[in-house]
Amino acid sequence: MDAQSKISHLRRPRRLRKSKSLRALVEETTISTNDLIMPLFVIDGKNKSEPIESMPGCKRLTIDYLIKECLEIAQLEIAAVALFPSLEASLKTENGDEALNKETLILRAVRKVKKAVPELTIITDIALDPYTSHGHDGVLNEKKTDVDNDKTVEILAKMAVLHAEAGVDIVAPSDMMDGRIEAIRNSLDNAGYNETSILAYSAKFASSYYGPFRDAVGSASAAGTNLLDKITYQLNPANRLEAMIETELDEIEGADILMVKPAGPYLDIIRELRNETTLPVAAYQVSGEYAQIHAAAKLGWLDLEKTRDESLLSIKRAGADMILTYFAKDVAQKIKNINLPTLENLPDQDFGEGI
């Protein structure tokens, strides 16, 4: 055997893979409940949960059921929930007026959840797509050809203050309007909510993976299609450098956390952002990513649990500090080795009128 062969055999990486305990010692990336954020959908009414057909295992919940779900999530030590409203069609208008109603569904939900589970961090979406009759994230211009950036930002800044008043810990602008982070930060500070954090959807791409979510919040039915084109304000999936410009601007404007959405198809963006910023980096494993894993598992083509766990590990390994994922509760139950009862089997509790 020549000298080069002898040297190459001095390094045998498989030595560190030969047992479970040894593999655990050298494991570089792990998922904990502290990494997870659970997105939840809320509807009006009482004692009702509506399955979301395109998102197996996910439901739209009335506030009483939402509270029970949040109690379970806190018990599992999941760090936070992200709440999204699904409104009746009659409440949707061209300008999304319901977003500025102090008694709108999402604000009533926040007050109740915050009173019942005060230790749970609450994140809410700051965008108009759940409130508009056309399904876009802002108000349209006079010609109805595009979203009016500055008029939308004015509404979003007011909306963020209402959410802070209701007790939201983190407001999360998902609209991708120019300048909205600075406007929201200024509005929050001027209203005395300087401790309310901003999680910016900084690199949100005009992705094909959002369809099930649009079904869940009803923006798809409002628009007449879940294939709604938002390319004039969401990022071109082909553009890496543009994503870095967006994230840099959001950091300069006062964002506390920067997010990449979707997560799985954009691991390169997560990694580059992690290398460029000292701020926490979030990633959203979106509805389409969740749905495709479930669909392939249902057909017997993939192992659901192993694929789920691998997908989350890849997002964490790429550099995400926190992950919004519809798998959060299932993964937390596995980590904690806890099997919780279904919502329907939990006892009723009176949480009053909230804060």
338: tokens are 């806890």
Q: Of 204, 230, 316, 329, which one is the catalytic site residue?
A: 204
Distance CA 96, CA 126 (A): 12
Distance CA 339, CA 355 (A): 31
CA atoms within 13 A on the CB side of 211: 11
CA atoms within 13 A on the CB side of 173: 38
Pairing state between β 36-42 and 170-173: unpaired
Q: Which has the closest alpha carbon to 182: 162, 153, 159?
A: 153
Q: What angle, 0 to 180 degrees and rounded to 10, lies between the N-to-C axes of helices 328-336 and 63-75?
A: 40
Three-state SS at 82: strand
Assess whether 151 carries a catalytic annotation: no
Other beta carbons within 10 Å of 133: 15
Q: Of 92, 261, 316, 329, which one is the catalytic site residue?
A: 261
Query: Which H or E run contains 83?
Result: strand 80-85
Q: Give me the amino acid identity at 282.
A: A
Distance CA 236, CA 242 (A): 8
Q: Give me the amino acid identity at 246.
A: E
Q: Which has the closest alpha carbon to 55: 284, 328, 324, 287?
A: 287
Q: Which has the closest alpha carbon to 55: 91, 90, 33, 84?
A: 84
Assess whether 158 carries a catalytic annotation: no
Q: What are the catalytic residues? A: 204, 261
